[in-house]
Amino acid sequence: MNTSLDQVIKKIDKLPELFHVAVKVSRMLEDPEVNAQALANTISLDQALTTQILKLCNSAHYGFSKNITSIHDAIVKMGFKTLKSLVFMAVSHGSLSQEVKGYGLEKGDLWRNSISCAVYAQKLAVITKYKDPELAFTAGLLRDIGKLMIHEYVGTGYNDIVNVVNSQNISFSEAETKILGFNHSEIGSTMAQKWNFPEVLVDVIKYHHIPESAMELGCKDIKLVSIIHVADSISMMLGSGIGSDGMMYNFSLKSLENINIKKDSLNIEEILAEMVELSPEIESMLGSLNGK
């Protein structure tokens, strides 16, 4: 392959910052003195974003008895943290819905996989008493954004990557590195840094396939990285738009320990059963932004 990591990073520089509104809102929410009306005014300037957020607020996932009709109303009823996850979801919809040929993902597959992982991560956060289930949702949603950047390069070496996966018994991500010199997690974390994502999201994107490395390097939020790794694995097990990346997926049992989930098969089956029950919520979210 002739593509280098530097070449891909240069292309990242030329891309429009699709997430700049979400990052701006995220930064505003870091201010303890943030004003709900000022925040609502900022979001409401973007009519399309406002429409998508209101669709999500009124989906079955949140289950409000009365419709939410304004961003200010959404903030009051749902809170700042939930609003932040909704903003990231709304702005990422267009990008994550596209076809990603290099990974064998048809149009909508990556979006389905991302939403599924986000919902599973949020549920795992609640089960394991993680401090911020909404952050877990956002992290699950964004963990594979690197696929958007390098799928065209993966496409040119797709057969080589698959051959390496099969012949060397390694994961698709490891095979990416062997053939391309980098993988989608590295590109994704670079994108996240350039777009000024919070450090915790950068770490999740970079290490969600290799949580052991996150532990070795002393990442600040090992529990979140572990939650996303487990949620990502569950999305693969349940076949949520997995594509080629589902081949030879390496699951870290240490991640279960990190979030205090017992490693016996009965307990894991119970967790999987709980995740399967989330299917109606996932379909509601998918439908709300797909205009169904």
| Helix orientation angle between 146-156 and 172-180, rounded to the nearest 10 degrees | 60
241 belongs to a structural domain: yes
| pLDDT level of residue 241 (50, 70, 90 thresholds) | low
83 belongs to a structural domain: no
* Domains in the chain, number: 1
For the segment 126-165, what is each residue's pLDDT rounded down to a tens digit?
999 999 999 999 999 999 988 887 777 666 777 788 888 8
23 belongs to a structural domain: no
191 belongs to a structural domain: yes
Query: Does residue 119 surpass a pLDDT of 90?
Result: yes
More confident residue, 121 or 15: 121
d(CA 171, CA 168) in angstroms, rounded, equals 9
| Helix orientation angle between 133-142 and 222-237, rounded to the nearest 10 degrees | 60
216 belongs to a structural domain: yes
48 belongs to a structural domain: no
108 belongs to a structural domain: yes
182 belongs to a structural domain: yes
Q: Which of 1-15, 179-193, 198-212 has the lowest mean pLDDT?
A: 1-15
Q: What is the pTM of this model?
A: 0.87
Contact status, residue 259 vs residue 241, Cβ threshold 8 Å: no
| CATH number for 169 | 1.10.3210.10
* CA–CA distances in Å: residue 16 to residues 116, 176, 190: 26, 25, 15
| pLDDT level of residue 246 (50, 70, 90 thresholds) | low
User: Sign (positive/negative) of CA torsion 14, 20, 23, 27?
Assistant: positive
CA–CA–CA angle 23, 224, 80 (5° rounding) = 40
> By residue range, what is the domain housing residue 10?
5-17+97-289
